Amino acid sequence: MRADRGGGAEKEKPGGEAGGEEPGGRRWIDYPRRGRRGVRRWLPSWRQLLLVAGAGAAVLTGWLTWFYVTTHVPEDLNAFATQQNNVYFWADGTEMARIGETNRQEVPLDQVPESVQWAVLAAENETFYSDPGISFTGIGRAVYQMVSGGETQGGSTITQQYVKNNYLNQRQDFSRKLSEIVIAIKLDRRMGKPDILAGYLNTSWFGRGSYGIERAAAAYYGKDVSQLNPSEGAFLAALLKGAGQFDPGISANNHRRAEDRWSWILDRMVKVGRLSAAERARYTVFPEPRTQPKAAGLSGQVGYLVDMARTYVEGHSDITQAQFDLGGHQIFTTFDKPKVNALAAAVRDATKGIDPDSRETDRLLKVGAASVAPDGRIVALYGGTDYLKQGFDNANTSTVPVGSAFTPLVYASGLSEGVQRKRGGSRTPVVPATTYDGDDGVNVMTPEGPYWGRNGRIAKTANDGKRSWGTVTLRSAVEQSVNGPMMQLAMDVGLDRVQKTAADLGLLPGSMGELVPAFGVGNSTPSAIRTADAYAAFAAGGSHTDPYSVLRITRNGEPLGLRLPTAVQALTPQVAGEVDAALKSAVRTGSAKAAAEAGPDLAGKPGTTPDRTAGWFVGYDARMSTAVTVFRADLKDMKLLSLEGLGGAAPDTPDSALPTQIWTSYMKAAGGPGDASGR
């Protein structure tokens, strides 16, 4: 009976099939587990779990041992022995500029003040002199980031950073991270800590093209590293977190970040016992670095072109600033040298009568201009009189209102979207022959009635010279630059829809003006580049391509990835054709007829602002679209000043006169197809 109760049923199964038993013997692994029913039969015992864990640990230990033994410290540093210039080329393939070499100079550790060394250590790795070359907590964070799908980051010791920067590539994956850890451990045993720290300080990137703390001291403070005080050292240490984000000369946001981290590093130095509280109290004012000097060979317009091309590469490729500063890159730009020269010559000729020494109204004059091909290539620009004297690029500024040069975009939006004059009513199509009231001082209307401004008054239209035109067609309003109908058309279409059309044509969101009636007549502030690009779509049948300045990039002859824009259909060919027809008529017989002498088949539009702070001319032919803007501003605060009386002109001279003259002279000289796209 006891035998029956003990599992007589099991005995009926021949060959020990129950539970996977071998005939006549015991199983090596009791799984599924005997004597268990249901789910419990499939749950492993704690002994089985320990067996699996032990086996896994043994395999992992063996693999790690193999990886450790077979991973060697490379004999040579990465790239530093072969650093080269970055070379920029014109669109025709000829050399435009050669920038570099990389600014690097080694210095013995004993020439780096101890306070500066500890500023770096406090910021990056305070346990440097006691750790084995790696940080276990940092590795844990990195592993967690990789397992969770986040960015590999955080916690690397100075030894690991030295290994990553100088022996390995910048790829962020598990294999590279593991190699970094192993090499760091081996390097820590092979080299003394002072040698590792010296190597790190001499090869780290500090921005401004500077590798190594000696050249960084010169770039930011114009002195040898041995002359740095703890405050200056703390700032240079802040740059190690990412010079592109912490160089205060780049932007106000950078300055804020740099000052915050500088202060934090000084506090850390006190916390780790390397700076007394009394000495810390002496450093309360951020040690402003000097302004970055302009590189030689960038005089005239070349510096603006190089800056634009580099910015494009950094924003449309996977090349970091630090990698770019290592050099060896060949940057093939879209810039057409004859057109760049012709544009600069046109500006010089047109501004010969400007005399800032004798006339107050001529002081602080700025000219910006850009030419963009229908496929988005920036073929020419004028950024200022000389890059070495004024690094600020007038062609790329987004602080100057575009004025009535915006109205063709309103016209395009109206033809595309139709109008809605009653709230909740259906939208009504408009055509070039649709009529509007062209008189000056007409009430601006909304579907609910007159538009009341914040000043408590009804907003009214304002034409140039306060001229009244009577009833005009929309096409005539564009041709003759009658602003009132365009302001009302924008309200009827819907300012949000006009804004979307402008965005579709390439105007950036940050340059869009406030959505009030003035939006329809140009309170937005697009750059000359973006404005020319928007008009290019009218010549391209409504096809729009974002502007770009680099065709391709290589390093030591090997192609690198570059993301170029693609064309999108922003307007229907019919709408683009109607706008094109109006702008061509404006040159033949309308407000742009002063530009007609530049040649046949031209289209264009002058632009002015109500407060007379900007003058524009934007126009195109089949080859390219060009925008020219003039304004007066102190670049310290960018406050715009009136253009009235510029160059000794009569008070009623349109502010668009000078940009029209520049545009016309340039188009006469530019001639020829000039298509060296290389794309």
Fold of 101-280: Penicillin binding protein transpeptidase fold (1.10.3810)
Q: Tell me whether strands 614-620 and 558-560 are parallel, antiparallel or unpaired.
A: unpaired
| Chain mean position to CA 328 | 22
Residues whose CB falls within 8 Å of the CB of residue 167, separated by 6 or more in sequence, listed in order: 73, 74, 77, 78, 183
Task: Report the alpha-carbon distance of residue 495 to residue 439 in Å, rounded.
Answer: 22
pLDDT in tens, 574-632: 999 999 999 999 999 999 999 999 999 999 999 999 999 999 999 999 999 999 999 99
pLDDT averaged over 10-residue windows placed end to end, the chain, 679 residues = 43 42 57 73 73 72 56 51 73 88 74 95 90 68 54 64 66 56 72 88 86 90 94 96 90 94 96 95 95 77 95 92 83 97 97 93 96 98 92 91 98 97 90 97 94 93 94 97 97 97 97 97 97 98 98 89 97 98 97 95 96 96 97 88 94 94 96 48
Residue 170 confidence (pLDDT): 45
Residue 19 confidence (pLDDT): 43
- What six digits make up the tokens of 18? 């129950």
Residue 638 confidence (pLDDT): 84
Name the residue ranges covered by the structural domains of the chain: 101-280, 403-544+571-632
How many CA atoms lie less than 13 Å away from 657 in the CB half-sphere? Answer: 15
- What six digits make up the tokens of 334? 């879209």
Q: What letters, b where the CB count within 10 A reaches 16 and e where it falls short, cover 432-465? A: bebebbbbbebebbeeeeebeeeeeeebbbbbbe
CB 522 within 8 A of CB 404: yes
Fold of 403-544+571-632: Beta-lactamase (3.40.710)
Domain 101-280 and domain 403-544+571-632, same fold? Reply is no
Residue 174 confidence (pLDDT): 53
Residue 145 confidence (pLDDT): 56
User: Nearest-CA neighbor of 411 among 485, 508, 513, 465?
Assistant: 485
Task: Report the alpha-carbon distance of residue 441 to residue 336 in Å, rounded.
Answer: 46
Long-range pairs of 556-560 with CB within 8 A, sequence gap ≥ 24 = 556/84, 556/328, 557/330, 560/317, 560/319, 560/329
Task: Report the alpha-carbon distance of residue 408 to residue 520 in Å, rounded.
Answer: 10
